[in-house]
Structure 1
Protein backbone atom coordinates (compact mmCIF):
# COMPACT_ATOMS: atom_id res chain seq x y z
CA UNK A 1 0.00 0.00 0.00
CA UNK A 2 1.05 3.58 -0.62
CA UNK A 3 2.18 5.94 2.12
CA UNK A 4 0.18 9.17 2.21
CA UNK A 5 2.41 12.27 2.49
CA UNK A 6 2.15 13.48 6.08
CA UNK A 7 1.76 17.16 5.24
CA UNK A 8 -1.04 16.44 2.79
CA UNK A 9 -2.86 14.23 5.29
CA UNK A 10 -2.58 16.81 8.06
CA UNK A 11 -3.75 19.67 5.84
CA UNK A 12 -6.73 17.68 4.56
CA UNK A 13 -7.82 16.71 8.07
CA UNK A 14 -7.47 20.29 9.33
CA UNK A 15 -9.66 21.58 6.49
CA UNK A 16 -12.19 18.78 6.28
CA UNK A 17 -12.39 17.44 9.82
CA UNK A 18 -13.76 13.94 10.41
CA UNK A 19 -14.73 13.53 6.74
CA UNK A 20 -11.17 14.36 5.72
CA UNK A 21 -9.74 11.93 8.25
CA UNK A 22 -11.93 9.11 6.96
CA UNK A 23 -11.03 9.90 3.35
CA UNK A 24 -7.29 9.97 4.05
CA UNK A 25 -7.56 6.64 5.88
CA UNK A 26 -9.33 5.11 2.86
CA UNK A 27 -6.81 6.33 0.27
CA UNK A 28 -4.31 3.41 0.35
CA UNK A 29 -7.01 0.81 -0.32
CA UNK A 30 -8.67 3.03 -2.96
CA UNK A 31 -5.35 3.43 -4.79
CA UNK A 32 -4.68 -0.30 -4.62
CA UNK A 33 -8.10 -1.03 -6.11
CA UNK A 34 -7.61 1.47 -8.94
CA UNK A 35 -4.11 0.21 -9.74
CA UNK A 36 -5.48 -3.30 -10.02
CA UNK A 37 -8.47 -2.28 -12.13
CA UNK A 38 -6.42 -0.18 -14.54
CA UNK A 39 -3.54 -2.64 -14.63
CA UNK A 40 -0.85 -0.25 -13.40
CA UNK A 41 1.98 -0.32 -10.90
CA UNK A 42 3.54 2.51 -8.93
CA UNK A 43 6.59 3.94 -10.67
CA UNK A 44 7.70 6.78 -8.40
CA UNK A 45 7.07 8.35 -5.00
CA UNK A 46 3.56 9.61 -4.27
CA UNK A 47 3.14 13.37 -4.59
CA UNK A 48 0.23 15.69 -3.97
CA UNK A 49 -1.41 18.98 -4.84
CA UNK A 50 -3.69 21.05 -2.66
CA UNK A 51 -6.67 18.67 -2.70
CA UNK A 52 -5.45 15.35 -4.10
CA UNK A 53 -2.62 12.86 -4.33
CA UNK A 54 -0.59 12.21 -7.48
CA UNK A 55 0.75 8.70 -8.05
CA UNK A 56 3.17 8.24 -10.99
CA UNK A 57 2.44 4.82 -12.47
CA UNK A 58 3.43 2.52 -15.30
CA UNK A 59 0.85 0.56 -17.30
CA UNK A 60 1.22 -3.06 -18.41
CA UNK A 61 2.64 -1.96 -21.78
CA UNK A 62 5.30 0.17 -20.06
CA UNK A 63 3.66 3.56 -20.72
CA UNK A 64 3.95 6.24 -18.05
CA UNK A 65 0.84 7.82 -16.57
CA UNK A 66 -0.41 9.54 -13.42
CA UNK A 67 -3.14 8.39 -11.05
CA UNK A 68 -4.86 11.35 -9.42
CA UNK A 69 -7.32 10.94 -6.55
CA UNK A 70 -8.95 14.13 -5.22
CA UNK A 71 -10.95 14.86 -2.11
CA UNK A 72 -14.65 14.57 -3.03
CA UNK A 73 -15.86 18.14 -3.49
CA UNK A 74 -18.16 19.86 -6.03
CA UNK A 75 -15.23 22.02 -7.17
CA UNK A 76 -13.40 18.90 -8.39
CA UNK A 77 -16.35 17.16 -10.00
CA UNK A 78 -16.01 18.44 -13.56
CA UNK A 79 -12.26 18.07 -14.06
CA UNK A 80 -12.60 14.79 -16.02
CA UNK A 81 -15.41 16.27 -18.13
CA UNK A 82 -13.11 19.07 -19.24
CA UNK A 83 -10.29 16.65 -20.09
CA UNK A 84 -12.72 14.44 -22.01
CA UNK A 85 -13.95 17.41 -24.07
CA UNK A 86 -10.42 18.56 -24.93
CA UNK A 87 -9.22 15.04 -25.90
CA UNK A 88 -5.60 16.08 -25.41
CA UNK A 89 -5.90 19.40 -27.25
CA UNK A 90 -3.79 21.70 -25.07
CA UNK A 91 -4.29 19.54 -21.98
CA UNK A 92 -3.16 16.19 -20.66
CA UNK A 93 -5.10 13.19 -21.97
CA UNK A 94 -7.72 11.50 -19.84
CA UNK A 95 -7.06 7.76 -19.97
CA UNK A 96 -9.49 6.42 -17.35
CA UNK A 97 -11.95 7.89 -14.86
CA UNK A 98 -13.83 6.84 -11.73
CA UNK A 99 -16.17 9.70 -10.88
CA UNK A 100 -17.49 8.10 -7.69
CA UNK A 101 -13.97 8.12 -6.25
CA UNK A 102 -12.94 11.44 -7.85
CA UNK A 103 -10.10 9.53 -9.53
CA UNK A 104 -8.49 9.76 -12.95
CA UNK A 105 -5.69 8.09 -14.85
CA UNK A 106 -3.97 10.83 -16.84
CA UNK A 107 -1.20 11.23 -19.37
CA UNK A 108 2.07 12.07 -17.67
CA UNK A 109 3.48 15.43 -18.72
CA UNK A 110 7.13 16.43 -18.41
CA UNK A 111 9.07 18.29 -15.75
CA UNK A 112 8.69 22.02 -15.22
CA UNK A 113 5.91 24.59 -15.39
CA UNK A 114 5.33 28.03 -16.87
CA UNK A 115 6.25 29.46 -13.48
CA UNK A 116 9.86 28.49 -14.18
CA UNK A 117 10.21 30.47 -17.42
CA UNK A 118 12.53 33.46 -17.04
CA UNK A 119 10.58 35.45 -19.63
CA UNK A 120 7.25 36.31 -17.99
CA UNK A 121 5.91 37.85 -21.20
CA UNK A 122 6.47 34.53 -22.98
CA UNK A 123 4.80 32.65 -20.13
CA UNK A 124 1.73 34.89 -20.42
CA UNK A 125 1.68 34.44 -24.19
CA UNK A 126 1.87 30.64 -23.82
CA UNK A 127 -1.06 30.74 -21.41
CA UNK A 128 -3.02 32.93 -23.81
CA UNK A 129 -2.43 30.56 -26.72
CA UNK A 130 -3.56 27.67 -24.52
CA UNK A 131 -6.75 29.52 -23.61
CA UNK A 132 -7.46 29.89 -27.32
CA UNK A 133 -6.93 26.16 -27.93
CA UNK A 134 -8.99 25.15 -24.90
CA UNK A 135 -11.94 27.33 -25.96
CA UNK A 136 -14.02 24.53 -27.47
CA UNK A 137 -17.78 24.20 -27.31
CA UNK A 138 -18.63 22.91 -23.86
CA UNK A 139 -20.58 19.69 -23.31
CA UNK A 140 -23.89 19.77 -21.50
CA UNK A 141 -24.00 19.50 -17.73
CA UNK A 142 -21.05 21.70 -16.79
CA UNK A 143 -21.52 24.74 -14.51
CA UNK A 144 -22.35 27.90 -16.49
CA UNK A 145 -20.65 31.05 -15.19
CA UNK A 146 -23.56 33.14 -16.47
CA UNK A 147 -25.79 31.37 -13.94
CA UNK A 148 -23.60 32.74 -11.14
CA UNK A 149 -23.44 36.35 -12.33
CA UNK A 150 -26.49 37.62 -10.42
CA UNK A 151 -25.27 35.97 -7.23
CA UNK A 152 -21.86 37.57 -7.68
CA UNK A 153 -23.47 40.98 -8.03
CA UNK A 154 -25.44 40.47 -4.83
CA UNK A 155 -22.32 39.30 -3.01
CA UNK A 156 -20.44 42.41 -4.13
CA UNK A 157 -23.17 44.63 -2.75
CA UNK A 158 -23.34 42.83 0.60
CA UNK A 159 -19.57 42.52 1.01
CA UNK A 160 -18.97 46.19 0.27
CA UNK A 161 -21.40 47.07 3.05
CA UNK A 162 -20.14 44.74 5.77
CA UNK A 163 -16.41 44.09 5.25
CA UNK A 164 -13.70 46.12 6.95
CA UNK A 165 -11.66 48.60 4.90
CA UNK A 166 -13.93 48.44 1.83
CA UNK A 167 -12.70 49.30 -1.65
CA UNK A 168 -13.73 52.69 -3.06
CA UNK A 169 -17.35 52.73 -4.21
CA UNK A 170 -16.46 53.46 -7.83
CA UNK A 171 -14.24 50.36 -7.94
CA UNK A 172 -17.01 48.09 -6.68
CA UNK A 173 -19.54 49.73 -9.00
CA UNK A 174 -17.28 49.09 -12.00
CA UNK A 175 -17.06 45.41 -11.08
CA UNK A 176 -20.82 45.21 -10.65
CA UNK A 177 -21.33 46.80 -14.06
CA UNK A 178 -19.06 44.20 -15.68
CA UNK A 179 -20.93 41.35 -14.02
CA UNK A 180 -24.24 42.89 -15.09
CA UNK A 181 -23.21 43.61 -18.69
CA UNK A 182 -20.81 40.75 -19.45
CA UNK A 183 -21.54 38.18 -16.78
CA UNK A 184 -25.02 37.27 -17.96
CA UNK A 185 -24.03 37.17 -21.64
CA UNK A 186 -21.33 34.51 -21.99
CA UNK A 187 -20.68 31.94 -24.71
CA UNK A 188 -21.04 28.17 -24.28
CA UNK A 189 -17.26 27.84 -24.29
CA UNK A 190 -15.25 25.53 -22.08
CA UNK A 191 -13.12 27.55 -19.64
CA UNK A 192 -10.22 26.15 -17.60
CA UNK A 193 -11.10 28.27 -14.58
CA UNK A 194 -7.71 28.25 -12.81
CA UNK A 195 -5.03 28.67 -15.48
CA UNK A 196 -2.16 30.01 -13.39
CA UNK A 197 1.46 29.33 -14.36
CA UNK A 198 1.74 26.28 -12.11
CA UNK A 199 -1.12 24.56 -13.92
CA UNK A 200 0.70 24.52 -17.26
CA UNK A 201 3.33 21.78 -17.60
CA UNK A 202 6.08 21.13 -20.10
CA UNK A 203 5.41 18.11 -22.29
CA UNK A 204 6.62 16.21 -25.36
CA UNK A 205 3.42 15.57 -27.29
CA UNK A 206 2.82 19.34 -27.22
CA UNK A 207 5.21 21.93 -25.79
CA UNK A 208 2.82 22.82 -22.95
CA UNK A 209 -0.22 21.07 -21.48
CA UNK A 210 -2.81 22.28 -18.97
CA UNK A 211 -3.76 20.39 -15.82
CA UNK A 212 -6.26 20.86 -12.95
CA UNK A 213 -9.18 22.50 -14.80
CA UNK A 214 -12.39 23.51 -13.03
CA UNK A 215 -14.47 22.78 -16.12
CA UNK A 216 -16.54 25.97 -16.26
CA UNK A 217 -18.53 27.26 -19.22
CA UNK A 218 -18.31 30.92 -20.12
CA UNK A 219 -16.05 33.73 -21.30
CA UNK A 220 -12.37 32.79 -21.90
CA UNK A 221 -11.46 36.23 -20.56
CA UNK A 222 -12.48 34.92 -17.12
CA UNK A 223 -9.03 33.32 -16.70
CA UNK A 224 -7.04 36.55 -17.12
CA UNK A 225 -6.89 37.35 -13.40
CA UNK A 226 -4.95 34.17 -12.62
CA UNK A 227 -2.10 35.41 -14.79
CA UNK A 228 -1.92 38.63 -12.82
CA UNK A 229 -1.84 36.68 -9.57
CA UNK A 230 0.99 34.46 -10.90
CA UNK A 231 4.53 35.78 -10.38
CA UNK A 232 3.35 38.82 -8.40
CA UNK A 233 6.97 39.60 -7.61
CA UNK A 234 7.62 40.58 -11.23
CA UNK A 235 4.80 43.10 -11.13
CA UNK A 236 5.96 44.49 -7.80
CA UNK A 237 9.47 44.98 -9.19
CA UNK A 238 8.19 47.03 -12.14
CA UNK A 239 8.91 50.76 -12.21
CA UNK A 240 5.32 51.41 -13.35
CA UNK A 241 2.87 48.87 -11.88
CA UNK A 242 -0.08 50.01 -13.98
CA UNK A 243 1.89 49.78 -17.22
CA UNK A 244 3.20 46.33 -16.26
CA UNK A 245 -0.30 45.04 -15.45
CA UNK A 246 -1.82 46.42 -18.65
CA UNK A 247 1.06 44.98 -20.68
CA UNK A 248 0.54 41.53 -19.20
CA UNK A 249 -3.20 41.68 -19.93
CA UNK A 250 -2.58 42.89 -23.48
CA UNK A 251 -0.15 40.05 -24.18
CA UNK A 252 -2.68 37.55 -22.86
CA UNK A 253 -5.58 39.07 -24.82
CA UNK A 254 -3.68 39.13 -28.10
CA UNK A 255 -2.40 35.56 -27.70
CA UNK A 256 -5.86 34.30 -26.73
CA UNK A 257 -7.49 36.39 -29.50
CA UNK A 258 -9.85 38.07 -27.03
CA UNK A 259 -10.87 41.73 -26.97
CA UNK A 260 -8.46 43.65 -24.69
CA UNK A 261 -11.19 45.71 -23.03
CA UNK A 262 -13.17 42.58 -22.20
CA UNK A 263 -10.08 41.01 -20.64
CA UNK A 264 -9.39 44.13 -18.56
CA UNK A 265 -12.98 44.36 -17.35
CA UNK A 266 -13.10 40.72 -16.27
CA UNK A 267 -9.73 41.06 -14.54
CA UNK A 268 -10.97 44.13 -12.64
CA UNK A 269 -14.21 42.44 -11.57
CA UNK A 270 -12.46 39.30 -10.42
CA UNK A 271 -9.83 41.36 -8.57
CA UNK A 272 -12.64 43.01 -6.59
CA UNK A 273 -14.19 39.62 -5.87
CA UNK A 274 -10.79 38.28 -4.81
CA UNK A 275 -10.17 41.29 -2.57
CA UNK A 276 -13.48 40.70 -0.81
CA UNK A 277 -12.80 36.97 -0.51
CA UNK A 278 -9.37 37.69 0.95
CA UNK A 279 -10.84 39.91 3.65
CA UNK A 280 -13.41 37.27 4.52
CA UNK A 281 -10.98 34.34 4.62
CA UNK A 282 -7.88 35.91 6.13
CA UNK A 283 -5.54 36.44 3.18
CA UNK A 284 -2.19 37.99 4.21
CA UNK A 285 -2.30 41.78 4.43
CA UNK A 286 0.25 42.17 1.59
CA UNK A 287 -1.90 40.07 -0.74
CA UNK A 288 -5.03 42.04 0.08
CA UNK A 289 -3.16 45.31 -0.55
CA UNK A 290 -1.88 44.09 -3.91
CA UNK A 291 -5.27 42.74 -4.98
CA UNK A 292 -6.86 46.04 -3.92
CA UNK A 293 -4.26 47.84 -6.02
CA UNK A 294 -5.04 45.70 -9.07
CA UNK A 295 -8.75 46.34 -8.66
CA UNK A 296 -8.25 50.11 -8.42
CA UNK A 297 -5.77 50.56 -11.26
CA UNK A 298 -7.91 48.45 -13.61
CA UNK A 299 -11.02 50.53 -12.86
Structure 2
Protein backbone atom coordinates (compact mmCIF):
# COMPACT_ATOMS: atom_id res chain seq x y z
CA UNK A 1 0.00 0.00 0.00
CA UNK A 2 1.37 3.40 -0.95
CA UNK A 3 2.27 6.06 1.61
CA UNK A 4 0.72 9.51 1.29
CA UNK A 5 3.31 12.31 1.60
CA UNK A 6 2.99 13.85 5.06
CA UNK A 7 3.15 17.43 3.79
CA UNK A 8 0.25 16.81 1.41
CA UNK A 9 -1.82 15.05 4.08
CA UNK A 10 -1.26 17.89 6.54
CA UNK A 11 -2.16 20.55 3.97
CA UNK A 12 -5.40 18.80 3.00
CA UNK A 13 -6.39 18.31 6.66
CA UNK A 14 -5.70 21.98 7.33
CA UNK A 15 -7.42 23.36 4.23
CA UNK A 16 -10.37 20.96 3.94
CA UNK A 17 -10.97 20.00 7.56
CA UNK A 18 -12.90 16.83 8.36
CA UNK A 19 -13.65 16.14 4.69
CA UNK A 20 -9.97 16.43 3.81
CA UNK A 21 -8.92 14.10 6.62
CA UNK A 22 -11.49 11.51 5.58
CA UNK A 23 -10.32 11.65 1.97
CA UNK A 24 -6.67 11.23 2.95
CA UNK A 25 -7.55 8.27 5.17
CA UNK A 26 -9.15 6.33 2.32
CA UNK A 27 -6.67 7.40 -0.37
CA UNK A 28 -4.22 4.44 -0.03
CA UNK A 29 -7.07 1.95 -0.51
CA UNK A 30 -8.37 3.94 -3.47
CA UNK A 31 -4.95 3.91 -5.11
CA UNK A 32 -4.74 0.13 -4.61
CA UNK A 33 -8.14 -0.25 -6.26
CA UNK A 34 -7.05 1.88 -9.24
CA UNK A 35 -3.76 -0.03 -9.60
CA UNK A 36 -5.75 -3.24 -9.90
CA UNK A 37 -8.41 -1.76 -12.19
CA UNK A 38 -5.83 -0.44 -14.63
CA UNK A 39 -3.32 -3.32 -14.26
CA UNK A 40 -0.52 -1.03 -13.10
CA UNK A 41 2.44 -1.39 -10.77
CA UNK A 42 3.89 1.59 -8.84
CA UNK A 43 7.48 2.31 -9.85
CA UNK A 44 8.53 5.44 -7.97
CA UNK A 45 7.89 7.76 -5.07
CA UNK A 46 4.49 9.41 -4.75
CA UNK A 47 4.47 13.05 -5.84
CA UNK A 48 1.90 15.73 -5.15
CA UNK A 49 0.76 19.22 -6.03
CA UNK A 50 -1.80 21.35 -4.24
CA UNK A 51 -4.91 19.41 -5.23
CA UNK A 52 -3.85 15.80 -5.68
CA UNK A 53 -1.23 13.08 -5.71
CA UNK A 54 0.61 11.49 -8.63
CA UNK A 55 1.85 7.88 -8.54
CA UNK A 56 4.37 6.83 -11.23
CA UNK A 57 3.30 3.44 -12.60
CA UNK A 58 4.20 0.74 -15.13
CA UNK A 59 1.67 -0.77 -17.50
CA UNK A 60 2.86 -3.47 -19.86
CA UNK A 61 0.98 -2.07 -22.87
CA UNK A 62 1.46 1.67 -22.28
CA UNK A 63 4.31 4.18 -22.23
CA UNK A 64 5.52 5.31 -18.78
CA UNK A 65 2.42 6.54 -16.95
CA UNK A 66 1.09 8.03 -13.73
CA UNK A 67 -2.10 7.67 -11.75
CA UNK A 68 -3.34 11.09 -10.66
CA UNK A 69 -6.02 11.40 -7.99
CA UNK A 70 -7.37 14.86 -7.18
CA UNK A 71 -9.34 16.03 -4.17
CA UNK A 72 -13.06 15.84 -5.08
CA UNK A 73 -14.03 19.40 -5.99
CA UNK A 74 -16.11 20.82 -8.86
CA UNK A 75 -13.05 22.77 -10.06
CA UNK A 76 -11.24 19.48 -10.74
CA UNK A 77 -14.05 17.66 -12.51
CA UNK A 78 -13.39 18.68 -16.13
CA UNK A 79 -9.64 18.04 -16.33
CA UNK A 80 -10.08 14.70 -18.17
CA UNK A 81 -12.43 16.38 -20.66
CA UNK A 82 -9.61 18.70 -21.66
CA UNK A 83 -7.19 15.83 -22.15
CA UNK A 84 -9.78 13.94 -24.18
CA UNK A 85 -10.29 16.91 -26.50
CA UNK A 86 -6.56 17.47 -27.01
CA UNK A 87 -5.75 13.81 -27.75
CA UNK A 88 -2.15 14.28 -26.73
CA UNK A 89 -1.57 17.27 -29.02
CA UNK A 90 0.29 19.71 -26.78
CA UNK A 91 -0.87 17.99 -23.59
CA UNK A 92 -0.30 14.67 -21.87
CA UNK A 93 -2.19 11.64 -23.16
CA UNK A 94 -5.15 10.41 -21.12
CA UNK A 95 -5.22 6.60 -21.09
CA UNK A 96 -8.10 5.99 -18.66
CA UNK A 97 -10.37 7.91 -16.32
CA UNK A 98 -12.40 7.18 -13.20
CA UNK A 99 -14.53 10.28 -12.81
CA UNK A 100 -16.27 9.00 -9.69
CA UNK A 101 -12.88 9.13 -7.94
CA UNK A 102 -11.47 12.22 -9.70
CA UNK A 103 -8.74 9.89 -10.98
CA UNK A 104 -6.89 9.49 -14.28
CA UNK A 105 -4.23 7.29 -15.84
CA UNK A 106 -1.98 9.70 -17.71
CA UNK A 107 1.18 9.75 -19.77
CA UNK A 108 4.24 10.46 -17.64
CA UNK A 109 6.43 13.48 -18.37
CA UNK A 110 9.66 14.67 -16.80
CA UNK A 111 9.51 16.92 -13.75
CA UNK A 112 11.42 19.70 -15.56
CA UNK A 113 9.17 22.73 -15.91
CA UNK A 114 9.26 25.72 -18.23
CA UNK A 115 10.79 27.69 -15.35
CA UNK A 116 14.11 26.08 -16.30
CA UNK A 117 14.13 28.12 -19.52
CA UNK A 118 16.14 31.16 -18.52
CA UNK A 119 15.66 33.13 -21.75
CA UNK A 120 12.36 34.96 -21.13
CA UNK A 121 11.58 35.55 -24.80
CA UNK A 122 12.11 31.87 -25.58
CA UNK A 123 9.75 30.95 -22.75
CA UNK A 124 7.10 33.36 -24.06
CA UNK A 125 7.27 31.78 -27.51
CA UNK A 126 6.90 28.29 -26.04
CA UNK A 127 3.89 29.35 -23.97
CA UNK A 128 2.29 31.19 -26.87
CA UNK A 129 2.67 28.34 -29.34
CA UNK A 130 1.40 25.84 -26.80
CA UNK A 131 -1.61 28.01 -26.00
CA UNK A 132 -2.42 28.18 -29.72
CA UNK A 133 -2.20 24.39 -30.08
CA UNK A 134 -4.51 23.88 -27.12
CA UNK A 135 -7.08 26.37 -28.45
CA UNK A 136 -9.30 23.77 -30.12
CA UNK A 137 -13.06 23.57 -30.53
CA UNK A 138 -14.53 22.95 -27.09
CA UNK A 139 -16.67 19.90 -26.35
CA UNK A 140 -20.22 20.66 -25.17
CA UNK A 141 -21.22 21.17 -21.55
CA UNK A 142 -17.93 22.56 -20.25
CA UNK A 143 -17.95 25.66 -18.01
CA UNK A 144 -17.97 28.92 -19.96
CA UNK A 145 -15.99 31.99 -18.96
CA UNK A 146 -18.85 34.13 -20.27
CA UNK A 147 -21.06 32.72 -17.50
CA UNK A 148 -18.67 34.07 -14.84
CA UNK A 149 -18.77 37.73 -15.85
CA UNK A 150 -21.53 38.78 -13.44
CA UNK A 151 -19.79 37.05 -10.52
CA UNK A 152 -16.43 38.64 -11.43
CA UNK A 153 -17.95 42.12 -11.56
CA UNK A 154 -19.75 41.66 -8.25
CA UNK A 155 -16.61 40.44 -6.46
CA UNK A 156 -14.40 43.17 -7.91
CA UNK A 157 -16.80 45.92 -6.85
CA UNK A 158 -17.49 44.50 -3.39
CA UNK A 159 -13.79 43.94 -2.68
CA UNK A 160 -12.91 47.44 -3.86
CA UNK A 161 -15.50 48.85 -1.45
CA UNK A 162 -14.22 46.75 1.47
CA UNK A 163 -10.61 47.86 0.92
CA UNK A 164 -11.34 51.54 0.37
CA UNK A 165 -11.18 51.61 -3.45
CA UNK A 166 -7.41 51.04 -3.70
CA UNK A 167 -7.15 51.32 -7.49
CA UNK A 168 -7.62 54.54 -9.51
CA UNK A 169 -11.07 55.04 -11.01
CA UNK A 170 -9.70 54.86 -14.56
CA UNK A 171 -8.14 51.46 -13.88
CA UNK A 172 -11.38 50.05 -12.49
CA UNK A 173 -13.55 51.58 -15.20
CA UNK A 174 -11.33 50.20 -17.95
CA UNK A 175 -11.41 46.69 -16.51
CA UNK A 176 -15.19 46.71 -16.09
CA UNK A 177 -15.67 48.06 -19.62
CA UNK A 178 -13.65 45.14 -20.96
CA UNK A 179 -15.72 42.69 -18.94
CA UNK A 180 -19.02 44.15 -20.14
CA UNK A 181 -17.96 44.51 -23.79
CA UNK A 182 -15.92 41.34 -24.35
CA UNK A 183 -17.25 39.05 -21.64
CA UNK A 184 -20.71 38.03 -22.92
CA UNK A 185 -19.61 36.96 -26.42
CA UNK A 186 -16.59 34.66 -26.34
CA UNK A 187 -15.58 31.92 -28.79
CA UNK A 188 -16.41 28.26 -28.16
CA UNK A 189 -12.72 27.52 -27.72
CA UNK A 190 -11.12 25.26 -25.15
CA UNK A 191 -8.92 27.22 -22.73
CA UNK A 192 -6.38 25.48 -20.49
CA UNK A 193 -7.01 28.05 -17.78
CA UNK A 194 -3.77 27.74 -15.80
CA UNK A 195 -0.93 27.70 -18.32
CA UNK A 196 1.92 28.96 -16.14
CA UNK A 197 5.51 27.68 -15.99
CA UNK A 198 4.86 24.88 -13.49
CA UNK A 199 2.11 23.39 -15.67
CA UNK A 200 4.32 23.10 -18.75
CA UNK A 201 6.62 20.07 -18.50
CA UNK A 202 9.42 18.74 -20.68
CA UNK A 203 8.75 15.44 -22.43
CA UNK A 204 10.44 12.94 -24.74
CA UNK A 205 7.41 12.72 -27.05
CA UNK A 206 7.20 16.48 -27.57
CA UNK A 207 9.53 19.16 -26.21
CA UNK A 208 6.82 20.56 -23.90
CA UNK A 209 3.43 19.31 -22.76
CA UNK A 210 0.69 21.00 -20.74
CA UNK A 211 -0.64 19.42 -17.55
CA UNK A 212 -3.16 20.30 -14.81
CA UNK A 213 -5.71 22.21 -16.91
CA UNK A 214 -8.58 24.04 -15.25
CA UNK A 215 -10.57 23.74 -18.52
CA UNK A 216 -12.89 26.53 -19.60
CA UNK A 217 -14.58 27.61 -22.79
CA UNK A 218 -13.86 31.14 -23.93
CA UNK A 219 -11.26 33.55 -25.27
CA UNK A 220 -7.70 32.12 -25.34
CA UNK A 221 -6.45 35.65 -24.54
CA UNK A 222 -7.32 34.88 -20.90
CA UNK A 223 -4.11 32.81 -20.71
CA UNK A 224 -1.96 35.93 -21.01
CA UNK A 225 -2.30 36.78 -17.30
CA UNK A 226 -0.52 33.58 -16.21
CA UNK A 227 2.19 34.28 -18.76
CA UNK A 228 2.93 37.90 -17.88
CA UNK A 229 2.30 37.84 -14.12
CA UNK A 230 5.16 35.40 -13.68
CA UNK A 231 8.17 35.25 -11.34
CA UNK A 232 10.41 35.51 -14.41
CA UNK A 233 9.13 39.07 -14.91
CA UNK A 234 9.18 40.09 -11.25
CA UNK A 235 11.75 42.85 -11.82
CA UNK A 236 9.73 44.30 -14.69
CA UNK A 237 6.51 44.22 -12.65
CA UNK A 238 8.24 46.24 -9.93
CA UNK A 239 9.89 48.74 -12.27
CA UNK A 240 8.81 52.35 -12.68
CA UNK A 241 8.89 52.13 -16.50
CA UNK A 242 6.84 49.00 -17.07
CA UNK A 243 4.86 49.99 -20.15
CA UNK A 244 7.58 49.64 -22.78
CA UNK A 245 8.66 46.24 -21.48
CA UNK A 246 5.08 45.01 -21.31
CA UNK A 247 4.47 45.96 -24.92
CA UNK A 248 7.50 43.94 -25.98
CA UNK A 249 6.33 40.90 -24.01
CA UNK A 250 2.82 41.12 -25.44
CA UNK A 251 4.17 41.44 -28.99
CA UNK A 252 6.20 38.26 -28.60
CA UNK A 253 3.49 36.27 -26.85
CA UNK A 254 0.61 37.32 -29.10
CA UNK A 255 2.64 36.62 -32.25
CA UNK A 256 3.40 33.09 -31.02
CA UNK A 257 -0.17 32.48 -29.79
CA UNK A 258 -1.72 34.08 -32.90
CA UNK A 259 -3.81 36.41 -30.77
CA UNK A 260 -5.01 39.95 -31.38
CA UNK A 261 -2.72 42.10 -29.26
CA UNK A 262 -5.29 44.76 -28.36
CA UNK A 263 -7.90 42.24 -27.27
CA UNK A 264 -5.23 40.39 -25.28
CA UNK A 265 -4.07 43.63 -23.64
CA UNK A 266 -7.62 44.38 -22.56
CA UNK A 267 -8.18 40.93 -21.05
CA UNK A 268 -4.80 41.11 -19.36
CA UNK A 269 -5.64 44.46 -17.79
CA UNK A 270 -8.98 43.13 -16.56
CA UNK A 271 -7.28 39.99 -15.22
CA UNK A 272 -4.78 42.09 -13.29
CA UNK A 273 -7.62 44.03 -11.62
CA UNK A 274 -9.46 40.82 -10.79
CA UNK A 275 -6.33 39.23 -9.29
CA UNK A 276 -5.43 42.39 -7.38
CA UNK A 277 -8.81 42.21 -5.68
CA UNK A 278 -8.62 38.45 -5.15
CA UNK A 279 -5.19 38.89 -3.59
CA UNK A 280 -6.54 41.38 -1.07
CA UNK A 281 -9.35 39.03 -0.06
CA UNK A 282 -6.98 36.06 0.29
CA UNK A 283 -3.99 37.77 1.89
CA UNK A 284 -1.52 37.58 -0.98
CA UNK A 285 1.93 39.00 -0.16
CA UNK A 286 2.00 42.79 -0.25
CA UNK A 287 4.66 42.86 -2.98
CA UNK A 288 2.46 40.70 -5.24
CA UNK A 289 -0.62 42.84 -4.68
CA UNK A 290 1.42 45.99 -5.40
CA UNK A 291 2.94 44.43 -8.54
CA UNK A 292 -0.50 43.39 -9.79
CA UNK A 293 -1.88 46.90 -9.13
CA UNK A 294 1.07 48.30 -11.07
CA UNK A 295 0.41 45.90 -13.94
CA UNK A 296 -3.26 46.92 -14.13
CA UNK A 297 -2.30 50.62 -14.29
CA UNK A 298 0.48 50.10 -16.86
CA UNK A 299 -1.92 48.38 -19.26
CA UNK A 300 -4.26 51.35 -19.62
Residue 261 of structure 1 aligns with which residue? 262
Residue 105 of structure 1 aligns with which residue? 105
Give runs of aligned pairs for residues 195-214 of structure 1, distance below 5 A: 195-214=195-214
d(CA) in 1 for partners of 2:242 and 2:289?
16
The structural deviation recorded for 1:239 is 7.9
Residue 299 of structure 2 aligns with which residue? 298
Residue 276 of structure 2 aligns with which residue? 275
Q: Over the residues paired in the alignment, what is the CA RMSD in angstroms?
A: 1.4
Secondary structure of the residue aligned to 2:166 is: coil
Give runs of aligned pairs for residues 40-119 of structure 1, distance below 5 A: 40-61=40-61, 63-119=63-119
Secondary structure of the residue aligned to 2:193 is: coil
Matched-pair contact (CA < 8 Å) for 2:237–2:294:
no
The structural deviation recorded for 1:237 is 7.6
Matched-pair contact (CA < 8 Å) for 2:237–2:295:
no
Q: Tell whether 2:151 aligns with 1:151.
A: yes
Matched-pair contact (CA < 8 Å) for 1:43–1:57:
yes
Secondary structure of the residue aligned to 2:209 is: strand
Matched-pair contact (CA < 8 Å) for 1:160–1:172:
no
Residue 131 of structure 1 aligns with which residue? 131
**Which moved further from structure 2: 231-240 or 201-210?**
231-240
Residue 247 of structure 1 aligns with which residue? 248
Matched-pair contact (CA < 8 Å) for 1:67–1:104:
yes
For residues 101-138 of structure 1, what are the alpha-carbon distances to aligned partners after superposition, in whole Å with 9 as ceiling and x for unaligned?
00001001124111110111111111100111111110
d(CA) in 2 for partners of 1:131 and 1:295?
22
The structural deviation recorded for 1:193 is 0.3
Residue 224 of structure 2 aligns with which residue? 224
**Which moved further from structure 2: 185-194 or 241-250?**
241-250
The structural deviation recorded for 1:62 is 6.6
Residue 288 of structure 1 aligns with which residue? 289
d(CA) in 2 for partners of 1:72 and 1:65?
22
d(CA) in 2 for partners of 1:3 and 1:186?
44
Matched-pair contact (CA < 8 Å) for 1:164–1:279:
no
Q: Return the TM-score normalized by structure 2.
A: 0.96
**Which moved further from structure 2: 147-156 or 42-51?**
147-156
* Cα distance change of structure 1 residues 296 and 237 upon mapping to structure 2, 3 Å threshold: closer
d(CA) in 2 for partners of 1:175 and 1:242?
17
Residue 187 of structure 1 aligns with which residue? 187
For residues 53-72 of structure 1, what are the alpha-carbon distances to aligned partners after superposition, in whole Å with 9 as ceiling and x for unaligned?
01111112473101100001
The structural deviation recorded for 1:252 is 1.1
Q: Tell whether 2:9 aligns with 1:12.
A: no
d(CA) in 2 for partners of 1:50 and 1:247?
33
**Which moved further from structure 2: 19-28 or 153-162?**
153-162
Matched-pair contact (CA < 8 Å) for 1:96–1:106:
yes
Q: Return the TM-score normalized by structure 1.
A: 0.96
Matched-pair contact (CA < 8 Å) for 2:225–2:271:
yes
d(CA) in 1 for partners of 2:58 and 2:64?
5
d(CA) in 1 for partners of 2:203 and 2:116?
14
d(CA) in 1 for partners of 2:151 and 2:237?
32
